[in-house]
Amino acid sequence: MNETETLSPALPDRLEEATRRLLAKACERELVLATAESCTGGLLASLLTDVKGVAHAFDRGFVTYSEQAKAEMLGVPETLIREKGAVSKEVAVAMAEGALARSRAHIALAITGFADSGEEPGLVHLACARAGRITAHREAHFGPRGRGANRIAAMETGIEMMTEML
């Protein structure tokens, strides 16, 4: 029986299992998580709040789809977005660090990318920040598999990065 409710029908079992493990470990260590999402549109935040009994390890999610939202909600400098592009390592890192600074979380994960269009469909930058540590970054090239498949792949990578940051 799946313990997540909202997204269960669309998610691979391995993603649900990894999410349950992440949240259980975060609870054991009394760590709180946050997300800053662009191309995943809040799906990761939804997943992190769907697991019964451990969802209190999640503080908040920022859905910053537009460049203006990234600047206003997360403090990403508009000049950085103009110079590097919204889908870049630098912006992903700034998003993660902004989410960490604007939440009560100990670990914040950011996702920005081209889910199914743009310069390179399936290009996603992820960053994971934790106070006192160097912000981790990954560049993924999921390819033109479609919006849903790329969003799920980005969530899997994000869960993996947060688990590693524990």
Q: CA-to-CA distance for 18 and 1, rounded, in angstroms?
A: 15
How far lies 123's CA from each of 31, 83, 89, 114, 136, in Å?
A: 30, 18, 11, 5, 17
pLDDT digits (tens, 9 = 90+) for 30-89: 999 999 999 999 999 999 998 889 878 999 999 999 999 999 999 999 999 999 999 999
Q: What average pLDDT does the segment 8-15 reach? A: 83
Q: CA-to-CA distance for 19 and 10, rounded, in angstroms?
A: 14
pLDDT digits (tens, 9 = 90+) for 100-133: 999 999 999 999 999 888 889 999 999 999 999 9
Q: CA-to-CA distance for 161 and 166, rounded, in angstroms?
A: 9
Write the CB contacts of 68 (distance below 8 Å, at least 6 apart in sequence).
none
Please give the structure tokens belonging to residue 132. 């006192």
Domain positions in the chain: 11-165
CATH superfamily, with its number, for domain 11-165: CinA-like (3.90.950.20)
Q: What integer pLDDT is reported at residue 8 of this predicted model?
A: 62
How far lies 41's CA from each of 26, 63, 118, in Å?
A: 23, 6, 16
